[in-house]
Structure 1
Amino acid sequence: MAEQDNGVTTGNEPLPNGADTLPQVGLISQYVKDLSFENPNAPAIYQSQQAPEINVQFDIGAQQVAEDVHEVTLKVEIRAESAGTVAFLVELSYAGLFGLRNVPLDAVQPFLLGEGPRLLFPFARRVVADAIRDGGFPPLLLEPVDFNGLYLQQAAAREQQGDTGTVGNA
């Protein structure tokens, strides 16, 4: 129902002047922002028979770059060591430009820090696997990550810390 009995429009119907008020989100572009692969102990590392220990770290950042356009950057850092010797280091910053129009303010940050990285991850995963393979190692296929769940966990932790601080000050 586009109108209520009093003639007022409800919800997200288009306005009479043709303006679109529906929330819209789109991926404009995605790209490698920075990529580094280091193999500091070649060629000796290839003679190691021990499987490397692999440490993977993620960092997510978002910034507004234009009206209705935000850049989300997914940073992946991987360090592989075998018998205390660095096998390889990978640092990737993979970014995407997202267009957001008519999105409620309380939904922007969850999208940019949860859903945005989820959309970028498969492509970043491929770049990492290819870089490691091109470095002479078996490709590393990163396990899927629940970025939305991580965002919700961190938001709940921040809220709890805020509540704890409020209680302590009361």
Structure 2
Amino acid sequence: MNQLTPEAAEALANGADAAPQVAILAQYVKDLSFENPNAPGSLQMQGQPRIDINVNVNARSGGDDMFEVELKIDATAKMPDDKTAFAVELLYAGLFRLKDIPQEALEPFLIVEAPRVLFPFARRVISDCTRDGGFPPLMLEPIDFGSLYLNQLEARGEGLGSGEVAGNA
């Protein structure tokens, strides 16, 4: 039978070497806007609209191992005559508890994994909103948050070879 040394027992009691824990405490719509400025004409448009989509991720500490991650999605559809068919803006957020996460893994989790968890729910809100606005549901393609994060690191000059990731997301 293995016995813990007094030093190892004290380290365990103080939370050292504890396994990382992640909990999703809540998901919620913080802000939602849908505009159909050219109705009813926009509902009878001929041809395919041009759809522009912008996605942003923001994360902030809430204290006590809690972090809020926001996924902001803006989608605008333009008719062939360049009039706006619809515009939808969604700010969808999640509250995460991250316990015993190594500092170097914090930003990647908040900028890649948390949005990956939130995205399917935000996608459904956008789809329902456009459908309820009289248009076919806008089904957003899955987003590779990992690639976006790597591009962001390269733009900041912190490629994978640097071995260091900033702690603020």
**TM band (smaller chain):** 0.7 to 0.9
- Partner SS, residue 40 of structure 1: coil
The 3-state SS of whatever aligns with 1:142 is coil
Instruction: Give me the identity figure in percent.
Output: 48
- Does structure 1 residue 128 correspond to structure 2 residue 126? yes
1:97 to 95, 98, 103: 95
Greater mean alpha carbon deviation, residues 30-39 or residues 16-25: 16-25
Q: 2:141 aligned with 1:143, yes or no? A: yes
2:39 is paired with a residue whose SS is coil
CA separation of 1:112/1:44 partners in 2, compared to 1, >3 Å: closer, same or farther?
A: same
Q: Distance in 1 between matches of 2:140 and 2:10?
A: 43
For the Cα contact (< 8 Å) 1:69–1:99, is it kept in 2? yes
SS of alignment partner, residue 37 of structure 1: strand
Q: TM-score, normalised by structure 1?
A: 0.84
Counterpart CA distance in 2 for 1:106 and 1:48 is 50
Alignment correspondent of 2:30: 33
2:58 matched to 1:61?
yes
Matching residue within 51, 55, 80 for 2:48 = 51
Q: How many residues align?
A: 156
Query: Structure 1 residues 78, 18: closer, same or farther in 2, change over 3 A?
Result: same
Counterpart of 1:115 in structure 2 is 113
Deviation at 1:8, TM superposition (A): 5.6
- The CA deviation at 1:16 is 4.4
RMSD between superposed Cα atoms in Å: 2.3
In the alignment, residue 49 of structure 2 is paired with which amino acid?
Answer: P
Unaligned segments of structure 1, at least 5 residues:
162-170
Q: Distance in 2 between matches of 1:160 and 1:18?
A: 33
SS of residue paired to 1:75: strand
The whole-number CA distance in structure 1 between the counterparts of 2:44 and 2:105 is 51
**Distance in 2 between residues matched to 1:102 and 1:27, nearest whole Å:** 15
- Report how far residue 3 of structure 1 moved: 8.1
Question: Partners of 2:129 and 2:61 in 1: how far apart?
Answer: 29
Gaps of 5+ in 2: 160-169
Give how far 1:14 is off: 8.9
Q: TM-score, normalised by structure 2?
A: 0.84
